[in-house]
Amino acid sequence: MPTNAVIELAEVHKTYHTGEVDVHAVRGVSLQIFPGEFVAVMGSSGSGKSTLMNMIGCLDRPTQGKYLLDGTDVSKLNRDELADIRNQKIGFIFQGFNLLARTSALENTELPMLYTRQRLHHGERHERALRALEMVGLAKRADHHPNQLSGGQQQRVAIARSLVNQPALLLADEPTGNLDSQTSIEIMGVFQKLNDAGITIVMVTHELDIARYTKRTVILRDGKIVSDEAVKDRSIAEKELKQLREAQQAVQLA
Binding residues for another protein, rule: CB under 8 A, are 54, 57, 59-60, 79-80, 83-84, 86-88, 92, 94, 98-100, 102, 111-112, 114-116, 119, 161, 165
Nearer to another protein by Cβ, of 42 and 125: the residue is 125
Nearer to another protein by Cβ, of 112 and 152: the residue is 112
CB 206 within 8 A of CB 197: no
Q: Coil, strand or helix: which one is 169?
A: strand
Residue type, 111: L
Nearer to another protein by Cβ, of 49 and 161: the residue is 161
Residues 6 or more apart whose CB falls under 8 angstroms from that of 40 comprise: 203, 204, 205, 210, 211, 214, 216, 217, 218, 231
Nearer to another protein by Cβ, of 164 and 218: the residue is 164
Q: What is 39-55 written as a DSSP string?
A: EEEE--TTSSHHHHHHH
DSSP state of 233: S
User: Min. distance of Cβ 128 from another protein in angstroms?
Assistant: 14
User: Min. distance of Cβ 141 from another protein in angstroms?
Assistant: 20
User: Min. distance of Cβ 58 from another protein in angstroms?
Assistant: 9
Among positive and negative, which fits the CA dihedral 162, 167, 170, 171? Answer: negative
User: Min. distance of Cβ 235 from another protein in angstroms?
Assistant: 29
User: Min. distance of Cβ 54 from another protein in angstroms?
Assistant: 6
Q: How many CB atoms lie within 10 A of CB 44?
A: 11
Nearer to another protein by Cβ, of 71 and 96: the residue is 96
Residues 6 or more apart whose CB falls under 8 angstroms from that of 90 comprise: 57, 58, 69, 167, 168, 169, 170, 171
Nearer to another protein by Cβ, of 10 and 111: the residue is 111
User: Min. distance of Cβ 192 from another protein in angstroms?
Assistant: 24
